[in-house]
Amino acid sequence: MTCKAEHYMTGETAWCPGCGNFAIREALAGALAELGLAPHQVLLVSGIGQAAKIPHYIGVNGFNGLHGRALPPAIGAKVANTDLKVIVESGDGDSYGEGGNHFMHNIRRNPDIAHFVHDNQVYGLTKGQASPTSEPGMKTGVQVEGVMVSPLNPLSLALVMGAGFVARCFSGEKDHLKATMKEAINFPGYALIDILQPCVSFNKINTHGWYKNRVYFPEIQAPQDWTAAMDLSRQWGDQIPLGIFYNKPHRTFEESRAALKGEPLSFRPFNPEELSSLQNDFL
């Protein structure tokens, strides 16, 4: 049973009119529909934030967890049921700030999970504090003199940690986003899309127009060239490249675990009595 894009869109959203989140949601719904994934086959995991409300607005399995903690349950869920298509979707604060340690270390694990970050360069839900990707100088209620630290570059970071699929998209380029999401979902291993997303309520710097004027689609010769990918990932400012900068699978978490071959663990039968020979170790 698969559906049309509209059918994936459930619930009444609580986002602000004009927000980039809407386009991301539509792109995701479109990607799922075009991939022919039925709702029960997909699991959407998120943390807390505006972006992280997405499991309430896409009618697949959902785990709306804690702020910063979207990746760990996603890995666990994948271990239990390798048949699930697991997608993690959350905000920049959630993914790179509170959740930074999981971000780094899960890239190393390389689970077969697609990670879509709504990067609005601000903490939306808590009303506009700086996020790890905020532009230096951005003033907020907490950063009263403006952001003083250099922004975290999620794509460079992912590359350095060994990610096999690294892409940048923009919510204002919905078709490109949808196409990239499909590739990320199909990629065998951890796939990151950092999605530039205007926040009309709190980010007055990186507006839709600001992004629109800067994004471009570079021709990417070989998305297997790490150095070229690193260069692209570091481009920011007047010209912001979009696209899949790196795409090179390597052994996944699931492949490296003997126990994960075969039927999903969740559905394998079990009878404790059969394990009584475990005691032999202690005789």
Q: Which residues bind its own copies (CB under 8 A)?
A: 97-98, 100-101, 104-105, 108-110, 132, 145, 148-153, 156-157, 159-162, 230, 250-251, 253, 256-258
- Residue matched to tokens 């390597």: 250
What's the farthest any 2 CA atoms get from each other in the chain?
Answer: 73
Question: Contacts with another protein in 188-207 (CB under 8 A)?
Answer: 201-202
**Which of the listed partners (ligand TPP, its own copies, Mg ion, none) does 219 bind, with a CB threshold of 5 to 8 Å by partner kind?**
none
Least Å distance between CB 50 and ligand SF4? 3
Q: Among 45, 75, 87, 122, which residue sits at the site for ligand TPP (rule: CB under 6 A)?
A: 122
- Contacting range for another protein; rule: CB under 8 A; set: 76-84, 214-222, 232-240, 241-249: 76-84
Compute the Cα dihedral for 214, 149, 159, 95 and give only its sign.
Answer: negative
How many other CB atoms are found less than 10 A from the CB of residue 34?
15
19 scored as a contact of ligand SF4 (CB under 6 A): yes
Please state the closest distance from residue 197 (CB atom) to ligand SF4, in A.
7
**Cα–Cα distance list, 203 to 20, 222, 241 (Å):** 11, 34, 20
Q: Which two tokens stand for residue 211?
A: 């992004």
17 binds another protein (CB under 8 A): yes
CB of 25 to ligand TPP, least distance (A): 12
Strand partners, 169: 195
Q: What is the rounded CA–CA span in Å between residue 248 and residue 211?
A: 28
Label the pairing between strands 243-247 and 165-170: antiparallel
Answer yes or no whether residue 123 interacts with ligand TPP by CB under 6 A: yes
d(CA 272, CA 120): 50
Q: Which does 92 bind (CB under 5 to 8 A by kind): another protein, its own copies, Mg ion, none?
A: Mg ion
What angle separates helix 71-80 from helix 100-109, to the nearest 10 degrees? 30
- Can residue 39 be called a binding residue for another protein (CB under 8 A)? yes
Nearest to residue 31, comparing CAs of 154, 264, 193? 193
What letter would DSSP give residue 259?
Answer: G
- Answer yes or no whether residue 16 interacts with ligand SF4 by CB under 6 A: yes
Closer to another protein by CB, 67 or 178: give it. Answer: 67
Among 26, 89, 92, 112, binds Mg ion (CB under 5 A): 92
Can residue 91 be called a binding residue for Mg ion (CB under 5 A)? yes
**Distance separating alpha carbons of residues 41 and 51, to the nearest angstrom:** 22
Q: Which of residues 10-69 bind ligand TPP (CB under 6 A)?
A: 48-51, 67
Of 52, 72, 63, the residue nearest 126 (C-alpha): 52
Q: State the residues that interact with ligand SF4 by CB under 6 A.
A: 15-16, 19, 21, 50, 120, 124, 199-202
Q: State the residues that interact with ligand TPP by CB under 6 A.
A: 48-51, 67, 91-94, 118, 120, 122-126, 131
